[in-house]
């Protein structure tokens, strides 16, 4: 179907003026000669007409869709509010929070989650839900979080692909029958294989793209998860065995809060941070790269904070390969010359997997969090905070007296005010356990400290907080207590 072209009147005037100029030039030429002042005057007239016609055309086009009045522009009041209200602070902390009641998996009552960005965009990602290791088997509860670095691309790739890969790998195992239990070692191997295979696919997709006939746009897109990097922390709960499987690659951390028979709560670490400060990791690297001195310095592995990660091609490819990929596809470049790259890869995505039996006669909960939270809370402090949250819900939340603090700015940290968690600053006011942990890690009842940290925007926000992602799972808890 042909469309009729509608020419606006102002454009007609412009075309007519241009045609007049062309006819004049054809008849009289473009050069002025002595005694040809009339010609010059006419030319100036024609030129002026064209200019006016062009201005008219531009003005008509520019005002076809009138600009909104200044007072109605969205966001114009963002800088006016210099003292955000407590409701606004809660809104920011809760904007990416979620809570789910679990009704079809025995032993699990509920899980909560929350995320707070510092980078723009946030480099953390997370996922959660039910997985079915065997088609006809009972569902398992799965939660995972991914702490990206040097970009968000690897973490986003894991968000979409890690759980499906783990489920597929578990599905290749022989389903248990006749009351038999699948050996822990078999489950661990399946999870580890899923992690390693997925990381290999990230690296191989980039390598294959470099020599393919794909467009440059597609090649750059396929390189992104290999140039960036990410940690991964996964938990899987099997209701048939009450087994909690935790797989850790990097420095996100899983901690179990478990009540003992005497009523005390214990913090049980289910993962260990994999960094250059972890003696076991340093020993592993030295054994894998004998004769190479200085692989770990100041708690870092050849400059990287973690000793295991997905992506991070700079620590996995030979220097010559990385230099080629960097030159052709604008990657991050080779590691500085001070690092001797002799026998890569130095980084692996293979996780450390543990299995813990959740005892049915003891209330317990699991905390998963990226290092943005653990930088400010110890294992026991995090467990104690969740216990305080549970106690408040069981007893009915009361009204807390507002705490008064001296005038505060970030310079106060140099004058004796602790930037980390302080028990006296604990506050319980959130319905979501993950938001509760986040608020207290940022300052608790010290409103000015929390609000000030939230007011900082990228890139300066990284001076006072990292991206934070938290998930909390409740086992064997009184549902009336946890879910009300």
Does residue 350 belong to any structural domain of this protein?
yes
Q: In whole angstroms, give the CA distance from residue 239 to residue 105.
A: 6
Q: In whole angstroms, give the CA distance from residue 341 to residue 317.
A: 9
Give the length of the chain.
484
Residue 12 has pLDDT above 50, yes or no: no
| Three-state secondary structure readout of 127-188 | EEEEECCCCCCCCEEEEEEEEEECCCHHHHHHHHHHHHHHHHHHHCCCCCCCCCCCCHHHHH
pLDDT tens, 65-95?
566 665 544 444 333 344 458 899 999 999 9
Over range 330-337, report the average pLDDT.
Answer: 91
Residue 199 has pLDDT above 50, yes or no: yes
CB 238 within 8 A of CB 245: yes
The mean pLDDT of the chain is: 85
Q: In whole angstroms, give the CA distance from residue 299 to residue 182.
A: 38
Does residue 70 belong to any structural domain of this protein?
no
Listed range (39-53, 94-108, 109-123, 151-165) with the worst mean pLDDT: 39-53
Residue 106: pLDDT band with limits 50, 70, 90: very high
138: left (phi over 0), alpha (psi -120 to 50) or beta: beta
In angstroms, the Cα distances linking 124 to 86, 151, 229, 455 are 25, 9, 11, 20
Q: Domain residues for 238?
A: 86-175+182-396+404-483
Does residue 238 belong to any structural domain of this protein?
yes
Does residue 454 belong to any structural domain of this protein?
yes
Residue 15 has pLDDT above 90, yes or no: no
Q: What percent of the chain has pLDDT over 70?
A: 80
Does residue 61 belong to any structural domain of this protein?
no
Maximum Cα–Cα distance across the chain: 115
What are the helix (H) ranges across 63-152? Answer: 86-94
Find, among 258, 250, 254, 257, the residue nearest to 278 by Cα: 250
pLDDT tens, 381-438?
999 999 999 999 888 755 566 789 999 999 999 999 999 999 999 999 999 999 999 9
Q: In whole angstroms, give the CA distance from residue 346 to residue 284.
A: 10
How many structural domains compose the chain? 1
Residue 177: pLDDT band with limits 50, 70, 90: confident
Does residue 152 belong to any structural domain of this protein?
yes
pLDDT at 50: 44
pLDDT tens, 239-292?
999 999 999 999 999 999 999 999 999 999 999 999 999 999 999 999 999 999
pLDDT tens, 26-65?
444 444 444 444 444 444 444 444 444 444 443 344 445 5
pLDDT at 176: 78
pLDDT tens, 297-320?
999 999 999 999 999 999 999 999
Over range 161-176, report the average pLDDT.
Answer: 92
Residue 352: pLDDT band with limits 50, 70, 90: very high
Q: What percent of the chain has pLDDT over 90?
A: 72
Does residue 31 belong to any structural domain of this protein?
no
CB 331 within 8 A of CB 322: yes
What does the DSSP 8-state code read for residue 275? B
Q: At 114, which CATH number?
A: 3.60.40.10
Q: What is the DSSP string of 350-404?
A: PPEEEEEEPPTTS-EEEEEE-HHHHTT--HHHHHHHHHHHHHHHHH---PPPPPP
pLDDT at 398: 54
Find, among 77, 111, 114, 120, the residue nearest to 92 by Cα: 114
Find, among 26, 23, 20, the residue nearest to 52 by Cα: 20
Q: What is the DSSP string of 335-355?
A: PPTTS---S----B-PPEEEE
pLDDT at 480: 39
Does residue 30 belong to any structural domain of this protein?
no
């Amino acid at each position: 179907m042909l469309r009729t072209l509608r020419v606006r009147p102002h454009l007609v005037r412009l075309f007519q003026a241009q045609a007049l100029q062309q006819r004049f030039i054809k008849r009289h030429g473009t050069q002025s000669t002595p005694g040809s002042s009339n010609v010059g005057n006419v030319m100036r007239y024609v030129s002026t007409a064209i200019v006016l016609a062009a201005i008219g055309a531009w003005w008509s086009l520019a005002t076809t869709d009138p600009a909104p009045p200044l007072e109605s522009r969205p966001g114009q009041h963002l800088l006016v509010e210099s003292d955000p209200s407590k409701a606004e602070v809660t809104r920011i902390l809760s904007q990416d929070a979620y809570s789910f009641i679990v009704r079809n998996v025995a032993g699990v009552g509920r899980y909560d989650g929350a995320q707070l960005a510092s980078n723009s965009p946030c480099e953390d990602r997370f996922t959660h839900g039910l997985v079915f290791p065997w088609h006809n088997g009972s569902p398992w509860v799965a939660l995972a979080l991914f702490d990206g670095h040097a970009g968000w691309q690897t973490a986003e790739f894991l968000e979409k692909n890690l759980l499906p890969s783990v489920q597929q790998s578990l599905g290749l195992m022989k389903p248990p029958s006749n009351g038999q239990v699948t050996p822990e070692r078999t489950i661990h191997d399946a999870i580890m294989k899923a992690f390693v295979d997925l990381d290999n696919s990230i690296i191989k997709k980039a390598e294959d793209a470099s020599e393919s006939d794909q467009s440059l746009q597609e090649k750059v897109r396929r390189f992104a998860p290999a140039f960036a990097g990410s940690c991964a922390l996964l938990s899987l709960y099997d209701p048939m065995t009450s087994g909690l499987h935790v797989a850790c690659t990097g420095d996100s951390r899983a901690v179990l809060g478990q009540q003992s028979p005497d009523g005390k709560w214990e913090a049980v670490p289910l993962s260990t941070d994999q960094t250059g400060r972890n003696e076991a990791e340093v020993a592993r690297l030295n054994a894998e790269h004998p004769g190479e001195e200085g692989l770990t310095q100041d708690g870092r592995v050849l400059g990287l904070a973690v000793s295991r990660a997905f992506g991070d091609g700079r620590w996995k490819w030979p220097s010559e390969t990385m230099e080629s990929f960097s030159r052709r596809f604008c990657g991050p470049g080779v590691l500085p010359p001070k690092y001797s790259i002799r026998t890569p890869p130095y980084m692996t995505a293979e996780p450390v997997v543990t299995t813990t039996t959740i005892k049915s006669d003891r209330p317990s909960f699991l905390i998963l969090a990226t290092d943005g939270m653990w930088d400010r809370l110890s294992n026991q402090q995090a467990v104690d905070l969740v216990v305080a949250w549970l106690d408040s819900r069981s007893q009915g939340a009361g009204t807390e007296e507002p705490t008064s603090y001296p005038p505060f700015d970030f310079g106060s940290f140099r004058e004796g005010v602790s930037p980390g968690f302080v028990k006296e600053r604990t506050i319980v006011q959130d319905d979501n356990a993950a938001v509760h942990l986040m608020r207290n890690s940022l300052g608790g009842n010290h409103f000015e400290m929390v609000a000030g940290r939230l007011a900082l925007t990228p890139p300066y926000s990284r001076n006072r907080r990292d991206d934070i992602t938290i998930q909390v799972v409740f086992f064997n808890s009184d549902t009336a207590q946890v879910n009300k």
